[in-house]
């Protein structure tokens, strides 16, 4: 077997944590869907994908999942009422319909399909 003798030069990838880490408590939202923007450059939020939702369901975190998918995502009314309830000390979360549902209804109406929501 051959053996290297002499100065060895090692290349190192410099991954600085300060350049990679990203967190968001509140920030900009998309104008169409009212969902948080994606990516660090746009100061966006983390995406909760389908498999992450399944994992939360399996864990039994229904209330946390409800908060993730409505008030912290694209439920405009729930988002504003959530902050008001935190200030008042009320821990009960009331949610409305996600804005993405309203976008779906408008797209279906654009295809001449009348969709009405019946609340009871």
In order along the chain (120 residues), what is the average pLDDT of each group of 10 residues? 65 59 73 72 75 90 84 77 84 79 90 86
The residues, ordered by sequence, that sit 6+ positions from 40 with a Cβ below 8 Å of its Cβ are 22
Which among 23, 45, 27, 29 has a CA at the least distance from the CA of 98? 29
What's the pLDDT at 92? 78
Q: Collect all residues with Cβ–Cβ distance below 8 Å to 44 and sequence separation of at least 6.
A: 24, 27, 28, 36, 37, 38
pLDDT recorded at residue 110: 93
pTM: 0.55
């Amino acid at each position: 077997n051959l053996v290297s003798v002499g100065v060895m030069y090692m290349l190192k990838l410099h991954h600085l944590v300060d350049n990679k880490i990203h967190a968001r408590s509140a920030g900009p939202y998309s104008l169409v869907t009212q969902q948080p923007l994606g990516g660090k450059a746009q100061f966006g939020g983390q995406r909760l994908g389908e498999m992450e939702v399944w994992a939360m369901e399996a864990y039994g975190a229904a209330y946390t999942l409800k908060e993730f998918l409505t008030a912290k995502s694209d439920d405009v009314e729930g988002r504003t009422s959530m902050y008001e309830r935190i200030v008042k000390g009320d821990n009960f979360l009331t949610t409305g319909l996600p804005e993405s549902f309203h976008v779906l209804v408008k797209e279906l109406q654009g295809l001449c399909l009348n969709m009405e929501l019946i609340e009871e």
